[in-house]
Amino acid sequence: MHPSLPATPDYDAWPVDHQLVDVSHDARVITLHWDDGRTSRYHSIWLRENAADDTTINPATRERILDLSSLVAWPEIASAYLDKAGALAVTMLPEGIELRFHPGWLRYHDYDNTEDDRQPLVPVTTWRGGSDQSPVTLDASGLLDSAADSIDEAAVLEPALQAILGRGLVRLRNLPTEPGTLARIAERIGPIRSTNFGTLFDVRAKPDPDSNAYTSIALPPHVDLPTREYHPGLQFLHCLENSVSGGQAVMMDGFAVAEALREEDPVAFATLTRVQWRFANTSRNSDYVWHSPMIVLDDRGQLDEVRIADFLRGPLMTHFNEVDEAYRALMALQERLRQPRFALRFSYAPGDLVIFDNRRLLHARDAFAGDTGHRWLQGCYLERDEIRSRFRILQRRQRERQVADSSTTTSQVTTAPAAP
């Protein structure tokens, strides 16, 4: 029987798109050669820690149990070869054990040819608005009729999540309009984040409101809950009713606005990445405060999030000599938020669900006449982690099908009778 490929230290499926053709090594580095000409190097200690045998991981959980410091010496390579299954087999000292590594897994984790493993799951594409623009829109009429983790569900969810990860926004249409439907949809992605506004919150005008969102007045471009240490990563707004005059939704890509500011007024951009603004939401029953720049960069200088909400800013508390420049930068940003070039405008129809990255996109609303009909949206929050996890799972399922199809094809070829 042809030997099978070894397990991997995770739950994923790894297609073997390229074969290993040669291996060489010294005590601490293995060099692999692939059929497409690539050369990959792996350190002995890296291989030892990332093995998939039961001395390294718990096979039931795939969590590591090996403590490298418990080894009596630094892991070194005694021998290495390619076995009949195409896997890498390595004998490691000081333990004298043979470990096998899956070629598809090794290829994906080729850190010798990858400078940074923190690349986004989907390339980030910034966008601007205009009268001819609309959100990426998908027909989700059968989403709740399909089983979770089914191919039918993935046909809607995968492109939806891809749009959110890449563009920060998607609109699903033709969903049911019963209250609570939103929870069933959101939980297909991950657990809902509860806040002081509840798990699901109703966005409609009401007496004695505790937020401007619960009135009929216009709302300026903003993110929700910048007053939190971690303001929610995703926001869902599901339209149950909309028969009012006005109330058009406005979305804009905060990353596109920030990039425009970086190009057109680099001093203002730098100021907004540095000055700590005070964001505060002090209602009768809660008091949330957090300090943060309005434009947040990661350690590579890439845009990570924006915190913009004029109606949730408290008094600026910064160095005396920074105040004038901070306000000049703020007004430079505010001027751009009023410019039509960034605004994407649309109206909600009953059954629409808009999902967007609340740490990237700004949303706004035109005023509406409350006496002309009813406007009722239900909303909730999730974290960015949930959408990334769900997208990875959908990709994993796709790879599992690819591996299964490849195995079936190989078996058919192997067992086919010889030609006469």
What pLDDT is stored for residue 217 in this prediction?
82
Residues 118-170 pLDDT 10s = 788 999 999 999 888 899 999 999 899 888 888 889 999 999 999 999 999 99
Verify that 232 and 327 share a domain, yes or no.
yes
Residue 1 located in a structural domain: no
Residue 7 located in a structural domain: no
What pLDDT is stored for residue 415 in this prediction?
40
What pLDDT is stored for residue 410 in this prediction?
52
Verify that 164 and 82 share a domain, yes or no.
no
What is the mean pLDDT of the segment spanning 10-30?
Answer: 96
Residue 77 located in a structural domain: yes
Residue 377 located in a structural domain: yes
Main-chain dihedrals φ then ψ at residue 65, nearest 5 degrees: -120, -10
Verify that 270 and 229 share a domain, yes or no.
yes
Residue 11 located in a structural domain: no
Amino acid, single-letter form, for residue 174: N
Residue 126 located in a structural domain: no
What pLDDT is stored for residue 419 in this prediction?
37
CATH number at residue 82: 3.30.2020.30
What pLDDT is stored for residue 53 in this prediction?
96
- Higher pLDDT pick, 270 / 412: 270
Instruction: Please give the mean pLDDT across all residues of the chain.
Output: 92
Most confident of 148-152, 177-181, 203-207, 405-409: 177-181
What pLDDT is stored for residue 2 in this prediction?
52
What pLDDT is stored for residue 176 in this prediction?
96
What pLDDT is stored for residue 218 in this prediction?
84
Residue 37 located in a structural domain: yes
What pLDDT is stored for residue 372 in this prediction?
73
- Pick the range with the lowest mean pLDDT from 199-208, 307-316, 345-354, 356-365: 199-208
Verify that 261 and 319 share a domain, yes or no.
yes
Verify that 293 and 390 share a domain, yes or no.
yes
What whole-number percentage of the chain has pLDDT above 70? Answer: 95
Residue 99 located in a structural domain: yes
Verify that 265 and 294 share a domain, yes or no.
yes
pTM (predicted TM-score): 0.88
Verify that 113 and 169 share a domain, yes or no.
no
Residues 232-249 pLDDT 10s = 999 999 999 998 878 889
Q: Is the pLDDT of residue 35 over 70?
A: yes
Verify that 195 and 339 share a domain, yes or no.
yes
The pLDDT confidence band at residue 250, using thresholds 50, 70 and 90, is very high
Residues 362-414 pLDDT 10s = 999 988 776 777 889 999 999 999 999 999 999 999 888 888 877 665 544 44
Verify that 152 and 106 share a domain, yes or no.
no
Q: Which of 45, 47, 126 is nearest to 88 (CA)?
A: 47
d(CA 185, CA 402): 27
Sign of the CA dihedral with 174 first, then 177, 182, and 188 last: negative
Verify that 206 and 262 share a domain, yes or no.
yes
CATH number at residue 207: 3.60.130.10
What pLDDT is stored for residue 244 in this prediction?
83
The pLDDT confidence band at residue 418, using thresholds 50, 70 and 90, is very low
Residue 78 is part of which domain span? 20-117
Number of folded domains in the chain? 2
Residues 84-100 pLDDT 10s = 999 999 999 999 999 99
- Find out whether 319 and 229 touch, Cβ atoms under 8 Å: no
